[in-house]
Amino acid sequence: MSVYRLMCLAGVLLALAGCRKKEAPLEPGDLAPNAVVVKVDGVPLTFRDMARRADGYLKYAIEREHIAFAPSKLPEAKAFYRQRAISMFVYKALMLNEAERLGITASEKEYAAWLQALEQTLQQRQSSTNRYFNGGPQPPDIMLQDFRDERLIDKMLSQEAPKRFRVMDDEVEAMAKEIEETNLIRRAKLEAARKQILDGADFADVARAISEDTPSAKRGGDLGEFARGKANDAAFDAAVFSLPLDQVSDVVETRFGYHLFKVSAKNPAQPEKDDVPAVPETVRAAHILVKMLSTSRPKLADVLYKQKSAQSGRTLYDELKGKAKIENTLFPDMEYQYISDMK
């Protein structure tokens, strides 16, 4: 979808803000629609806006997540989702106020690019932005505003993260050492499986039980017939094409992880003859795979950065929450959740 169409979609969704359904009648214990239930440093949340978001959460839980609430539990569920709505308001108020204080903004071009990235991600999941914004727990206009607010907060956190933490080389090395130890344990698991097979266990049964290549595991490890190059891995080809028939290989390490191979058929290469093209050498093989965890230092540094960045966001939120004046007349003793705890 083009950036222009995505911006048009955004306009349509925002226009829907003026097409809201009629408000539900007040129930015993409810406040007047314009009554302020929460203030964050003077920024108010009305009962109407809180209830609208909470009702969206509750409806989504029942209709989309198929959560069944007994009639006696509905008041408790309603209170739970009202607190979630308040937590979302507090989170956004604090983080957006901080972005404003830091002078961090986003242009419409940036929002359009973020929408386009979302569209691409959803297409990979056989979905669309239309389904995303119209099928979420909130009305489309709120879904879009949440999307815009969260992207701006993400931008702020990404700019502030380098000022709040660093990924140290010794941390990366410590993580790599832990993973290497884990990989040794995983390799030992396959060594034990090989001994089990040599002692009489059926290769296919063991593959079904422990192989982490799910599609082939369902077939007892069978990979079918193939020529060199199918796996695009030299160690894979070297092991399979040199293995005698019906023998179980030693543990072989490839880019996929650790394997045991067993070859059940070999077909020699056939040269070109007359009008018949040449046929490459093929084998029919099965394998048992235990995946190996990557110890690539750049990848581990990226993992650590993301972990620290997530923790940095939570820490910043806690700092802002501790300094803010939060007045809550509806649930004065509630805990305000961080955004990742609300999903």
Q: Which CATH number describes the domain made up of 169-268+279-291?
A: 3.10.50.40
**CA-wise closest residue to 217 among 294, 291, 292:** 291
* First vs last C-alpha separation in the chain: 28
Only one residue has tokens 């007349």, namely: 329
Mean pLDDT of the chain: 90
Q: What percent of the chain has pLDDT over 90?
A: 82
Strands 252-254 and 36-40 turn out to be unpaired
Residue range 16-69, pLDDT digits in tens = 444 444 555 556 568 899 999 999 999 999 999 999 999 999 999 999 999 999
Continuous segment of H or E residues that includes residue 326: strand 326-328
Separation of alpha carbons 143 and 137, rounded Å: 8
β-strand partners of 225 = 284
Predicted TM-score (pTM) of the model is: 0.68
Q: Please tell us whether the domain made up of 3-17+31-164+313-342 is placed in CATH 2.40.30.
A: no
Tokens read off for 177: 């050492």
**CA-wise closest residue to 228 among 282, 271, 276:** 282
The stretch 185-203 carries a mean pLDDT of 97
* Residue 264, pLDDT score: 96
* Residue 153, pLDDT score: 95
What residue segments make up the domains of the chain, in order of their start?
Answer: 3-17+31-164+313-342, 169-268+279-291
Angle at alpha carbon of residue 176, lines to 171 and 178, rounded to 5°: 100
Distance between alpha carbon 207 and the CA centroid of its chain, in Å? 28
Residue range 77-126, pLDDT digits in tens = 999 999 999 999 999 999 999 999 999 999 999 999 999 999 999 999 99
**CA-wise closest residue to 157 among 325, 326, 319, 300:** 319
Separation of alpha carbons 46 and 193, rounded Å: 63
Tokens read off for 157: 């956190």
